Amino acid sequence: MSRPGIPPVIIAAAAIAFASQAAMAGEPNATRQRELSRLLVHECGACHGMQLRGGLGPALTPGALKDKPSESLVATILSGRAGTAMPPWQRFLSEDDAQWLAAKLVEGGVDAVR
């Protein structure tokens, strides 16, 4: 999870700082939403397809996600899925970020962030 060369203490401190910031933040602001939309299309899209219809990773369309509880989507985004290629994104995303992304996916995927 940590990058080589960065002491775990610093990672932990950063994580705490990030987490406390996230706890106060609520819904991501407009700038952050644009960043997250870009991340969804390009970085998530690298494996799930830019239209999120699937690739090496599964489809993330509203239809494909309809039976998945929101908490499990958020957990997958933040912590990844062991045994698969899905990495944890908590180094880059707060809980609010992940909740916003999960909501957008269920709402309409890439169409919801355009």
Q: Summarize as ranges the residues that interact with other proteins (CB under 8 A).
A: 1, 3-5, 38, 41-43, 45-47, 49-51, 53-56, 80, 85, 87-88, 92
How far, CA to CA in Å, does 72 sit from each of 36, 63, 65, 79, 99?
19, 16, 10, 10, 10
Q: Least distance in Å: CB of 77 to other proteins?
A: 12
Q: Of the two residues 32 and 53, which places its CB atom closer to other proteins in the complex?
A: 53
Q: Least distance in Å: CB of 68 to other proteins?
A: 20
Q: Of the two residues 62 and 80, which places its CB atom closer to other proteins in the complex?
A: 80
Structure tokens at 13: 């401190």
Q: Least distance in Å: CB of 14 to other proteins?
A: 13
Q: What angle do CA 13, 97, 90 make, to 5 degrees?
A: 40
Q: 3-state DSSP helix/strand/coil percent for the chain, to nearest 5?
A: 60, 0, 40
Q: Least distance in Å: CB of 49 to other proteins?
A: 5
Q: Of the two residues 4 and 24, which places its CB atom closer to other proteins in the complex?
A: 4
CA distance 44 to 8: 26
